[in-house]
Structure 1
Amino acid sequence: MTFRRALHEKENDTGRYPRGKFFLIAMLCSFSWYIVPGYLFKFLSTISVLCLVFPKSVLAHQLGSGQFGLGIFSFTFDWSVIVYLGSPLVTPFFAILNILAGYVVIVYIMIPVAYWGLNLYNAKNFPIFSTDLFDGHGQSYNVSAIVNKNFEIDNVAYEAQGRINLSIMFALAYGLSFATIVATLTHVLLFNGKEIYERFRASYKGKIDIHTKLMRKYQDIPSWWFHTTLALSFALSLLLCTVLKSEIQLPWWALIFACMIALIFTLPISIIQATTNNSPGLNVITEYILGLIMPGKPIANVCFKTYGYISMAQAVSFLQDFKLGHYMKIPPRSMFVVQLVGTFIASTINVSTAWYMLNNIPFICQLELLPKNTQWTCRGDHVFYDASVIWGLVGPKRFFGPLGNYGALNWFFLGGAIGPMLVWLLHKSFPKQSWIKLINLPVLLGATAAMPPANTLNFNSWIVVGFLFNFFVFRYRKKWWQRYNYVLAAALDAGVAFMGVFIFLAFGFTNVKDLYWWGNEGEYCDLANCPTVKGIQVRGCPLIK
């Protein structure tokens, strides 16, 4: 409702500031400010108070680091850090509360208890929060030593080096992902199943709303447009799987299986996205499934995840854009053409940009060689690589099966199935308590689904900004919120985006060196990555005796 008002409310209403001028001013402010945390004074992007007060304490760094710890008293003045998880200004307040509850339980109860209290999975042998892979002695796992020339696992080398270990944050993140994906199906079935059925029946009876009536003046999209696009895309994918067998490693039946998974999950995940602005991912479950079927095939696993998870994610994004166009009364055929052309342009630019960066930026993605607080750390790519090792190369049987350390995490599947049932029964028992229905376990359990590669600083700042803005502005300035909220969110994002491009073109593209001074040397939490068990020596960390 608020979004529709923002789109259709008249600009010439007396006593109201024009949204166009408001957008321009907010964007210029965001643009002007971002050069400070984005280039001149990067310390403002991640300020960790505990690390500054206790520079030699491992515990203080683990608690205070916003990048590799729990992020206590860690904050930022960088909008790009806040919106790493998406803009908090456009997320419903009840969804923010669900994320806040889940985040606090996971990060500030489960993680500390598992790490310091139980030393679960020998957690103290490793950093508390890291996306790296470790051997049993707290050292980085030598993955290249267990890969043969066909990019498959060398079982003899693997047995010699031993099992791969994860940080406690990384391990529990996988368990929570198991629970989230099952909870999504259960929650949608219980809370939205009746509505889905009624909407489906109503679609055959011809019942339409006012927006659909207004859109009927435009020509609808012929079904064969969609069918042709689907057929061409599937044919090209099938060609890759059959012609480039050694490169892709994915058999044709696995491609069909991945497409079926995407088809099944698109509806329930779209409902969660539409009501909470949060979308559970299929990345872990697709990796798990093919890892069981085809262990030791990392490239096949990555391809299966792409066709299963990314196809669903793109479908949800496609539906979002069409819903926006529906409210804005844009001709459907124009939206389809723009989507199709935009896909070709974006894919070409993305591949070209990636190729350029990989060949022209020194030490890109090589954490041990990059300077501190650089933007070329490739957090998402590191997690993607580690996932290909865990699920594809080594396989889930050696992690979450009888041959691995983390088999108990499979119980999260059962917890994810039961949780929404308990909430539903509670709602039915106390129907007058409307707040019970707002408990959304897919969102609550998946509160930290983006972690890693996101970190606690991203979550802390996102939750604080979203909570304060939604609570205070919506409560005391509701009309202002309805009129300017989405405009402000878009303006802040646009300002950061334009300044980010300017910084790269002005300084990165022209090979101008970064400013090296104490304000650009990171968050000063170097000890956050240290183990805390006695007798393990890691470079740069004190030896605990």
Structure 2
Amino acid sequence: MEVLSGSEDMEDSCGSSSLTPLLEHDTENLGSNREGNTENESDNEEKEDPNGCYTEEIANEEDVSPIEQVALTVPTTDDPSLPVLTFRMWVLGLLSCAGLSFLNQFFSYRVEPLTITSVSAQIAVLPLGRFMAATLPETKFKVPGTKWKFCLNPGPFNVKEHVLITIFAGAGASPINAIHIVNIIKIFYKRNLDLYVALLIVLMSQVLGFGWAGIFRKHLVEPSTMWWPANLVQVSLFRTLHEKEERQRGGVTRIQFFLIALTCSFGYYLLPGYLSPLLTSFSWLCWMFPRSVIAQQVGSGLHGLGLGAVGLDWSTICSYLGSPLATPWFAVANVGVGFVLIMYVITPLTYWFGVYDARVFPMFSKDLFTSTGQIYNISSIVDSDLHLDEKAYEKYGQLHLSTFFVFSYSIAFAALSATVMHAVIFHGKDIWNLRIHTFKDRKMDVHSRLMRKYKAVPEWWFFIFLALTLTVTITVCEWFKDQLQLRWWGVLLSCGLAIFFTLPIGIIKATTDKSLGLNVISEYIFGYISPGRPVANICFKILSDITISQALTFLQDFKLGQYMKIPPRSMFMAQMIGTSVAALVYIGTAWWMIDNIPNLCNTAALPDNSPWVCPVDQVIYDASVIWGLIGPRRIFGSLGPYGAVNWSFLIGAIAPILAWLLQKMWPEKTWIKYINMPVLIGATSLMPPATAVNFTSWLIIGFIFSFVIYRYHKQWWQKHNYVLSAGLDAGLAFMGVLLYVCLGLENVSLEWWGTNLDGCPLASCPTAKNVSVENCPIFV
């Protein structure tokens, strides 16, 4: 709510100018940002542009962002007088946050999780904001007993309000992975978990990331080379929605193009979303060879290698990898090379040569198996305290994994060590320079310099907040150790891992838009320290890996605030409140769904083609069994069959060194510098639950837009690329919600061959001789 000066003789009208002067509450954001901020201000003269914004006279070419995509997309203007913390911002922001939190948790259980991004709210709130600006009273209201007055309507709905509303919405759109703790305990292990315990652990896991964000803000936000590619989609959309653009003869404006894209995406999603789900994975090889296990293993987009499989569905393309239109070409190329090597070279070779008895199991599966290829009965090896029953495990036999599942862990090991080594080799000097130089001594682009007008968030805010949340987290885990199984030392160890890995993982995310997880190594470490405790293992993973994910989300928002010139303290407030509201809504939605959807996540009891199969929760449950219940020593250690996988740590550490040597040996080969080993090695780290068709479709679209159009039609790309991505996201989200409200709630469905999701029923069959699996042919 916009707070005004307490002067008694103020006018009764808020005013309607789009350049409403900053009020007393916001003027504290202006002026000095840090000590020495006012130095050399005369070097760059401010001028007012025709649209009423202030722009800096760029002193030299070094002030321009070194990243071409940023220079082409982000405006170099600012209007500090625009009101930010307005009544309509709070109303629309909180509603957007709560709405997206409910919808994203609701749809997270689907076979292809439908993520409703903040772009949807970004579009939906614009007419609402303008309606409120046109109808709310402009009269000032006095707070009884004080000199304070406030105004519901400080003028036209402006872009900075819009950005903060989108930050609120982004808190609701970001997945809260601590919900998986609730799902695993209540759905898969069928054990008790109190609601208030679940709420506390979810909330603390969300806000712990603020501490890491504050620590690494100077390294991952302020440098211009840390450009966070995904932010450019929203920046482009904000400009489309708020800047006036003259229509060129024979062309369309950006807002017209956006509306066309939204309408087409909205109408088209009726096909894959309801009428013909087969378009989710168009696996034509399975149609040609309906009785061949091998052909279906190779051709299935959901259960095989996905050779030739294409998803004609934007949700398939974006479900796990994000928008390919927002990913730079070098990152797309690295993902493509890594995917081809792992999926089409390593996996089939190891499978057909029978490495680890691979042919006894499906080629691509996230399930857990016995030595004879049957699904492993986990409940038979769990005792009443949710610990491993060692005698029962010895009697039942070792747990086995599919070929690709084994190598997915190998990939995760290699990608993690490659990330650390890549950060040291390619960014170590920059990181050191950031530590030993002050802010005012470092070169800044025009965006960083414009932000000097606003007061920064002091670092001690982050440290105090980190200390408080860490104390509460330890208290919760100790007090309710019978439900969570995690002790105080586990909390401290998880935070230590998070601090160590946030910077290298953040560098990869900020420069490529690809994020590498800490989940496997955290499970691995804790599984060795404390085996036989699956819930403790999940909690440890959440508090290490997920807090990093949250920290990166906060840092990305800070960068968006820098691009759009939002006062940092206003950003901090929106992030804090939005994250807390999202946690409450997420846990409430999950609790309600668990109690009201029969057989949620139980694939054996659900009807055919049911959407509520929980692919992400299934993978996390399997991981809790592998790393927590049974323990890595019995699977990847001296007592297990997959010990050789540990060599992946060494391979990953060597790979960036090889890339660095190639650059030194052939400096004239400019393409070599774009080899990014963490992204290349970790290309398939999201598989499972991601499937081959997600990658094949994503790579095709990424090549077309990030390479062909960017290189040969740059003017079109600059004007329409990010706008197209936003329109496709929004249309998909709106139709997805509409389909569920109109048809899903009433269980209205169609039954014909086009409703078959993949059409490859034999892809999950083994090919070893004399292995008998239900609904599969026996090879003799």
TM-score when normalising by structure 2: 0.68
Cross-structure match for 1:522: 757
Q: Secondary structure at the match of 1:363?
A: coil
In angstroms, what is the RMSD of aligned CA positions?
1.5
Structure 1 CA distance for aligned equivalents of residues 759 and 655 of structure 2? 40
Tell whether the 8 Å contact from 1:70 to 1:108 is kept in structure 2 after alignment: yes
Please say if 1:73 is aligned against 2:308. yes
User: 1:232, CA displacement in angstroms?
Assistant: 2.7
Cross-structure match for 1:463: 699
Bigger Rg over Cα? 2
Matched ranges for 1:334-413 at <5 A: 334-413=570-649
User: 1:358, CA displacement in angstroms?
Assistant: 2.1
Q: Secondary structure at the match of 1:200?
A: helix
> What is the one-letter code of the residue matched to 2:770?
G
Cross-structure match for 1:147: 382
Structure 1 CA distance for aligned equivalents of residues 707 and 447 of structure 2? 30
Cross-structure match for 2:721: 485
User: 1:175, CA displacement in angstroms?
Assistant: 0.5
Structure 1 CA distance for aligned equivalents of residues 602 and 481 of structure 2? 30
Cross-structure match for 2:416: 181
Structure 2 CA distance for aligned equivalents of residues 286 and 187 of structure 1? 20
Cross-structure match for 2:655: 419
Cross-structure match for 1:2: 69
Structure 1 CA distance for aligned equivalents of residues 445 and 324 of structure 2? 30
User: 1:360, CA displacement in angstroms?
Assistant: 2.4
Matched ranges for 1:40-55 at <5 A: 40-55=275-290
Q: Secondary structure at the match of 2:495?
A: helix
Q: Deviations over 1:89-117 (max 9, x none)?
A: 1111011111111111100000010001x
Q: Deviations over 1:352-396 (max 9, x none)?
A: 222222222233212223334432111111000000000000000
Cross-structure match for 2:562: 326
User: 1:147, CA displacement in angstroms?
Assistant: 0.2
Structure 2 CA distance for aligned equivalents of residues 130 and 365 of structure 1? 16
Q: Secondary structure at the match of 2:438?
A: helix
Where has structure 1 moved over 4 Å in runs of 4 or more?
none
User: 1:336, CA displacement in angstroms?
Assistant: 1.0
Tell whether the 8 Å contact from 2:325 to 2:725 is kept in structure 1 after alignment: yes
Structure 1 CA distance for aligned equivalents of residues 464 and 773 of structure 2? 56
User: 1:66, CA displacement in angstroms?
Assistant: 0.4
Cross-structure match for 2:477: 241
Cross-structure match for 1:302: 538
Structure 1 CA distance for aligned equivalents of residues 676 and 452 of structure 2? 35
Structure 1 CA distance for aligned equivalents of residues 655 and 475 of structure 2? 42
Cross-structure match for 2:84: none
Q: Percentage identity across aligned positions?
A: 49
Q: Secondary structure at the match of 2:587?
A: helix
User: 1:14, CA displacement in angstroms?
Assistant: 5.9
> What is the one-letter code of the residue matched to 2:300?
S
User: 1:4, CA displacement in angstroms?
Assistant: 5.2
Structure 2 CA distance for aligned equivalents of residues 147 and 403 of structure 1? 19
> What is the one-letter code of the residue matched to 1:44?
L
> What is the one-letter code of the residue matched to 2:596?
N
> What is the one-letter code of the residue matched to 1:263?
I
> What is the one-letter code of the residue matched to 1:22?
F
Residue among 122, 128, 136 paired with 2:357: 122
The unaligned stretches of length 5 or more in structure 1 are: none
Structure 1 CA distance for aligned equivalents of residues 758 and 703 of structure 2? 25
Please say if 1:209 is aligned against 2:445. yes
The answer to which of 358-367 and 190-199 deviates more is 358-367
The answer to which of 425-434 and 217-226 deviates more is 217-226
Structure 2 CA distance for aligned equivalents of residues 4 and 330 of structure 1? 19
Cross-structure match for 1:229: 465
Cross-structure match for 1:163: 398
Structure 2 CA distance for aligned equivalents of residues 124 and 260 of structure 1? 41
Structure 2 CA distance for aligned equivalents of residues 22 and 341 of structure 1? 34
> What is the one-letter code of the residue matched to 1:441?
M
Structure 1 CA distance for aligned equivalents of residues 268 and 419 of structure 2? 40
Cα gap change, 1:391 to 1:128, in 2 (>3 Å) = same
User: 1:72, CA displacement in angstroms?
Assistant: 1.3
> What is the one-letter code of the residue matched to 1:2?
Q
The answer to which of 193-202 and 293-302 deviates more is 193-202
Cross-structure match for 2:134: none
Please say if 1:172 is aligned against 2:407. yes
Residue among 675, 678, 683 paired with 1:447: 683
Tell whether the 8 Å contact from 2:705 to 2:721 is kept in structure 1 after alignment: no
Please say if 1:113 is aligned against 2:346. no
Tell whether the 8 Å contact from 2:331 to 2:512 is kept in structure 1 after alignment: yes
TM-score when normalising by structure 1: 0.97
Cα gap change, 1:7 to 1:32, in 2 (>3 Å) = farther
Cross-structure match for 1:192: 427
More helix by share: 1
User: 1:332, CA displacement in angstroms?
Assistant: 0.9
User: 1:150, CA displacement in angstroms?
Assistant: 0.6
Structure 2 CA distance for aligned equivalents of residues 73 and 415 of structure 1? 30
User: 1:53, CA displacement in angstroms?
Assistant: 1.1
Structure 1 CA distance for aligned equivalents of residues 665 and 614 of structure 2? 48
Structure 2 CA distance for aligned equivalents of residues 336 and 200 of structure 1? 23
Q: Secondary structure at the match of 2:369?
A: coil
Structure 2 CA distance for aligned equivalents of residues 337 and 523 of structure 1? 45
Matched ranges for 1:236-315 at <5 A: 236-315=472-551
The unaligned stretches of length 5 or more in structure 2 are: 1-67, 76-238
Q: Deviations over 1:382-428 (max 9, x none)?
A: 00000000000000000111100100000101101111111111211
Structure 2 CA distance for aligned equivalents of residues 240 and 388 of structure 1? 21
